[in-house]
Structure 1
């Protein structure tokens, strides 16, 4: 069903822009004829990497100033211009952990928080890891942690896990990448 006519955009405005995302609203005519402003933030695509190394999964632990907590997370980052999810996974995994994988598999593309975000996320599984040197950004203060694959689901559910980590772990488990 094509909803473009019954949800016509009357006005669209970008109210602010940062170096990372833009925010604004669309005034939309709803199917009953009334109009409503729907606010949005437009973020670049991101990748989340579940890196499997033998019987372990590689995580990163870092302090998140926005929520003022230390979090255990899967490797993740922005997909840069010209990259696909697998290429971004290769780059982010190497930068944050030093590992390079033999194989990268896109498990799922997800539209995130569709009530407010224009943001897609690709979940990628990386297998066959070889250790190397990290190349952290100036604002990355990351510790690499390994968690036994058999304990991954329980571990991320015990702590303060973000949505991307939960999505990645649960999708990888459902697809047989985790025991």
Structure 2
């Protein structure tokens, strides 16, 4: 199964290389749509301006702290790294909405649709392998559940359901 996932990932990378900025631009557009649809554009612009000012101050503070640590360790400042992470509820909300818009934007182009299909296959790979090795009763149940839930199998899942079940000796 890992081999199949690696093949799918390899294809995704190949598609990304065809238009290197495609996914990045799609994510940027999706984020902008998410910000607009949440009604937080003016706040985001205000926050961006504040962040720009804060970034200048942070850079000065960081540089001074790195210089102090370099002095204490008696090493060049280039050997001093800075690591931090910030997790925010607002950023999480935007990221969730951005994901939805990214999928919508991807669905608008042939390349994007192929990327979405491959992502779906990768996400459902465990189920697909399970289906391929399941008895006919499980495959029928899977179809019924899919129908009940309004889902549809991926291309590989359809092919897996067509595979004859393993024979018991």
Task: Tell me the TM-score normalised to structure 1 length.
Answer: 0.23
Point out the structure with the larger strand share. 1
Q: Which has the higher contact order (CA 8 A, sep 6+)?
A: 2
Point out the structure with the larger helix share. 2
Higher Cα radius of gyration: 2
